[in-house]
Amino acid sequence: MACPNPGDLLMEEQGQMQSLKKISPNEVMEVGSRIYVPVSVIETKISKRFDTIPSGTLYPNADEIEYLQRLVMYKDSAIIVLNKPPKLPVKGNLPVHNSMDALAEAALSYGYEQGPKLVHRLDRESSGLLLMGRTKESIARLHWLFSDVNKAKSPLKTWNDACETTTQRYWALVIGSPREKQGRICAPLSKVLLNDGKTERVILANPSGVEASQEAITDFRVLGPMINGCTWIELCPLTGRKHQLRVHCAEALGTPIVGDYKYGWYVHKKWKQMPRVDIEPTTGKPYKLRRPEGLDVQKGSVLSKVPLLHLHCRELILPNIAKFLDILDRKSQNLPKFSSRPDVLRFVAPMPSHMKISWNLMSSYLV
């Protein structure tokens, strides 16, 4: 907004603006004119944080940087591990300034010349452990570690043993229950375009189809009984395909993840908030669900009409990259300086609030 009469008072006694008008991009401003910018695009301090960060500016402000740093669970000279909240994009396009890769340069450099780089991704709607490399050497090692190619053995036995322990474990709440309590899904995936010619979708590859496919392997384990039509399961991807876990759950197991409207839309069309009573499968007696005092049911849990995605990267096990980079650089296995540092690192991330509510309702509050 521009005021053509800078000498006039802009505010009346009642607090109302006067002599204001919109300006067009090609309009020439007069000397002394004032421009008023809407509050929505002004960088301001945000007093409270929830699950997402603001998107009102094109560059990260101090509050966004502080927020992202609070997500850091661990950092050393080689890696940074964060607990990503749901709805925070990992890889952003030009309009998405507040993605993890865009913010890392400013927020997570911690004195390094460059910010850390992503070595694996999580979907925007999912949550949990996210790993980033801090140096070229650590990024290369991590990409190699999470790649699907056959890995050549190193002369360093301790490094080989540590690499064998590398594991990612996800917890998910699915609609229905797998037929088997545990198993391995070996179901290649293909990418197809929908009828609009723009939207991409991942599907199980047709053995006789002409579309290119990629190998996709997932181990799964049922964590408990089905309650009110839903079951908690653990997923361990052995390959890293886009939407692998969501497609394997929905199409290979026939149990879409709660809140997955992309691959489980046909089930969510009939979604109902969790009822208060169900029958215990072994005894035939009814469960009694007790809601915690003050529980907010509109937080995307199973009590919500529109639940959020219940997929969380809970556990990550990997070699101590910082230690082994130092050892491998010195080509020695007998370095007392590094003997006290562990060969393997293990991280466990707490679930986001909507999954905690669902977990409590379906476990701790069952009597």
Which of the residues are catalytic? Answer: 123
d(CA 319, CA 272) in angstroms, rounded, equals 43
- Between CA 129 and CA 314 the distance in angstroms is 6
Closest CA to 296 of 353, 227, 230, 233: 353
The DSSP bridge partners found for residue 222 are: 233
- Residue 17, CB-side half-sphere exposure with 13 Å CA sphere: 11
Q: 2 — alpha (psi -120 to 50), left (phi > 0) or beta?
A: beta
Contact (Cβ atoms closer than 8 angstroms) between residue 60 and residue 103? yes
Nearest to 252 by CA among 177, 185, 173: 185
The angle subtended at Cα 223 by Cα 217 and Cα 228, nearest 5°, is: 110
Cβ-proximal residues to 68 (8 Å cutoff; 6+ apart), any chain: 53, 60, 82, 100, 103, 104, 107, 108
CA dihedral 220, 259, 82, 217 (to 10 degrees): 30
Pair of tokens at residue 44 = 């301001």
Cβ contact 126:309 at 8 Å: yes
User: How far from each other are the two terminal CA atoms of the chain, in whole angstroms?
Assistant: 62
The whole-angstrom separation of Cα 121 and Cα 150 is 21
Strands (DSSP E) found in 29-118: 34-35, 72-75, 79-84, 117-118
